[in-house]
Chains A and B, each alone.
Chain A
């Protein structure tokens, strides 16, 4: 039975009351207790730093060469907080409500409310750490809007907010490393969790430089290893982002929740060719200033693709600003899933403007904003009769200050100047709402194994709103885990050091070594990437933006077959006792194969459309998602059933909405 452990009481008091009654570990007992943190992104770094400060012995692990490289660093647009600095009626309740609604009523109320409650503390904490957020001329913090909201609650640092927040958490972590409170293991990858008497008591990790397999024990293990978007091969994730830590704990008893909830981000640079290794996001913040359109006339779209027409030659009345047309209340700032599907709908209908294999691309156009902001700037400088050239010059300067790094990045990749011609964009895999099932304490179904940040499933339902991932990562690490992990550890003050000589450690280590030897002795003929790309292809075509019963059934069977072929025919060069990137990839892709199959199964059982999960059979006459709140108002949590993924067992956590009235999501 799944027990979410949601505390009693009114939603606005639950967390405060609950915290007040959690068990504590006295400062003199904390040095007797070891905690392992896997991953050093926002969630992992903030948790490791906070627990180190408290006095626990912390060991932190990152596969990169430094904790500062974790992929949180690539988040661009911002972080939400219910500060109401802009006096537009924001509040904790509104952030809570927007997040639940944005998630298409598939998130857990109590967790989301807690997230909104601590959102303001995050900003305070980060400013105190010296995070240089954008400020206005009065020296106050600036804000902007993100999708799915009608307030300005997003704090930012140009288009590099994730970088600045991660470097803030990294500085806090570095301080603890310097003080000897946290021991940092860079270039290490967790390859299994070790359970003793049913509890998480350590991990097996591979030193990626020497290849040595190491045993590390602890009284609790925190997994903050990020999302699994790379199951699609092409995504906005970093090349190394992987599901392995999360999947290994799943195989040892942690349920995996809502794997089919994947966020396809609407504004990414379209695919250019077969050797492409990743996709690049253009921040959602650009939708504050850019308008999304395709030609109204199909012949114009054809002419653009053939290179005979330029977008700047299409007259205003011949442009279809399809988001503004379909969703006048939110316009270009509808949530990501809605914007992505609308772009796909236009491209499927033949209006795509990109000259690639699929014609998939739409415009993101800044020309209106250049004029409007240019005029504002001229007026602010006392020039009430600016010439057109002056307006355009000032408008471009305004864009450069707000989004300079993004425009530069776009030009680098595409060789086109977005100040002069609209950006071309198309949806791409970006974030995974699904993840390891956790209760209110962020504890998985393995006692002592906690999961934080994108790696867990808990706060974003079926669709995450922009600028909420950074908020959740830091909320989990700074303001939730220090309390709930301590409560758990209060029972361990007399346990003493866990020995790594226990048979459980030996067994886990042997299994890891056997997997590695299996790959290296396989002597197949094809590279790991070959299989990863084929997996990605199946996932994108059949478990992507539009899904249907037949395609999902095919995907399950195809992945099953691909996995068998992978083990038979993959070739992994090199040896176990050296730096071996191909071996690292092989281990990760093995887990992606299993997860991919489960994602298809989860999408197949969910006979409704909600958020990022769009089943083509379940849509209304206008192409909007049709939820089924009677039969599918639950979190689908899967229990591992052995090497045949078809044997995974589905458990349901029913979602009770006590404080928000469940309704059809309407952004019109």
Chain B
């Protein structure tokens, strides 16, 4: 933290009053940004400046600011979550930028994620996919079998966990030229497919989740792999392959 300095930047930010209005890029100049600040702290600083100038602050989604809630988004200089790899926007720090840089900030762009205001989009389609089948149908009881009664091979448990690490931010969809949600859905299908607890409903799950995914208007996968590259949690393309296998088996059953 010893190498911190202050930089001056130019921002080109998408502003849009609401879902129905047309948006446009606005330009802002922001001085004295500490390189130790996170990208969202930089936006806080911009908003403080706008409020002091009696202008409307920029609306953006954020919450935990430690890379796990999946609420933050943003297309930064044409990349989901900005230039650094395997981080969310809230973990991106201003040391990734230079004095005098011009930074473009846009919302996720995808038909299935309509803009609500400025940089905020509606990702409720993800919730509806999960509601269609992203669960094990076990009621609350406290009377399930003992947690260690069914051993799970460590390899499977680890792969399941890696798939379950998805934070549902939507970077995969936003990065995909087809607006496909296959990485998100593949990760959820895989988490359960790899565990004995998920096997019972495997057939229905994959069919229902894929059906909902299609209904939400997400595009198809053409194996470009942009989703994997931009995923802040490093969710692997293998999950899409696994979902396709699960889907194929389920379809012929």
User: Which residues of A are interface residues toward B (Cβ below 8 A)?
Assistant: 46, 49-50, 53, 64-71, 73-74, 83, 85, 118, 121, 123-130, 132-141, 157-158, 160, 162-164, 167, 170-172, 174-175, 177-178, 184, 186, 209, 236, 238-240, 272-273, 275-278, 280-281, 307, 355-356, 408-409, 412-416, 424, 478-479, 482, 527, 529, 571, 573-574, 578-579, 581-582
Contacts and interface: CB of A to CB of B under 8 A. Distances in A.
Contacts of A413: 38, 91, 93
A132 B166 CA distance: 13
Contacts of A356: 1
Contacts of B160: 130, 132
Interface stretch (B129-137, B220-228, B235-243): B129-137
A416 B3 CA distance: 11
Provide the main secondary structure of the chain B interface.
loop
B105 interface: no
B147 A409 contact: no
Given A124-B144, A139-B153, A275-B44, A64 B71 contact: yes
B94 to A, nearest CB: 10
Interface of B: 1-4, 17-18, 34, 36-38, 40-42, 44-45, 48, 51-52, 54-57, 59, 61-71, 84, 86-87, 91, 93, 95, 116-117, 120, 122-124, 126-127, 130-132, 134-148, 150-154, 157-158, 160-161, 164-165, 167-168, 191-192, 194-195, 197-198
Given A73-B64, A413-B91, A127 B131 contact: no
A276 B63 contact: no
A157 B161 contact: yes
21 contacts: A65-B123, A69-B70, A73-B69, A125-B141, A158-B161, A163-B68, A163-B167, A167-B164, A171-B136, A174-B134, A276-B41, A277-B40, A277-B41, A307-B2, A412-B91, A413-B38, A415-B1, A527-B48, A527-B51, A571-B54, A573-B51
B147 A174 contact: no
Contact of A415 (B95, B120, B124, B167): B95
Contacts of A355: 1-2
Most buried by B among A124, A140, A172, A186: A124
Contacts of A174: 127, 130-131, 134-135
A529 B48 contact: yes
Contacts, number: 234
Contact of A124 (B18, B91, B147): B147
Contact of A132 (B2, B116, B132, B195): B195
A50 B140 contact: yes
B146 A124 contact: yes
* Closest CB pairs A-B (n = 8): A139-B151, A121-B142, A178-B131, A171-B135, A132-B161, A128-B144, A50-B140, A132-B160
B57 A135 contact: no
Given A167-B164, A174-B130, A273 B67 contact: no
A128 B51 contact: no
A124 B148 CA distance: 8
Contacts of A170: 130
B131 A71 contact: no
Contacts of A121: 142-143
A140 B93 contact: no
A129 B138 contact: yes
A139 B18 contact: no
A125 B68 contact: no
B148 A140 contact: yes
Contacts of B48: 527, 529
A46 B44 contact: no
Contacts of A171: 130, 134-136
A209 B61 CA distance: 12
A405 to B, nearest CB: 8
Contacts of B2: 307, 355
B140 A49 contact: yes
Contacts of A209: 116-117
Given A132-B164, A178-B132, A280 B69 contact: no
Contacts of B63: 64, 69, 71, 238-240
B127 A275 contact: no
B197 to A, nearest CB: 5
Contacts of B132: 178
Nearest to A177: B131
A128 B145 contact: yes
A502 to B, nearest CB: 31
B221 to A, nearest CB: 23
A66 B124 contact: yes
B68 A73 contact: yes
Contacts of B57: 573, 581-582
Nearest to B131: A178
B36 A272 contact: yes
Given A71-B63, A133-B147, 7 more contacts: A46-B140, A74-B68, A135-B152, A141-B147, A171-B134, A238-B63, A272-B36
Contacts of B95: 415
Contacts of A415: 1, 3, 93, 95
Contacts of A66: 123-124, 126-127, 168
A171 B195 CA distance: 15
Given A574-B56, A581-B59, A125 B151 contact: no
A167 B70 CA distance: 12
A118 B142 contact: yes
Contact of B152 (A129, A139, A581): A139
Contacts of B86: 408
B41 A582 contact: no
Contacts of B168: 66, 68
A172 B131 contact: no
Contact of A175 (B17, B124, B137): B137
Contacts of A158: 161
Nearest to B122: A65
Contacts of A240: 63
Contacts of B191: 130, 132
Nearest to A128: B144
A164 B161 CA distance: 8
Contacts of A238: 63-65, 69
B138 A128 contact: yes
B148 A141 contact: yes
Contacts of B44: 275, 277, 529
Contacts of B137: 175
B54 to A, nearest CB: 7
A275 B41 CA distance: 7
Contacts of A162: 68
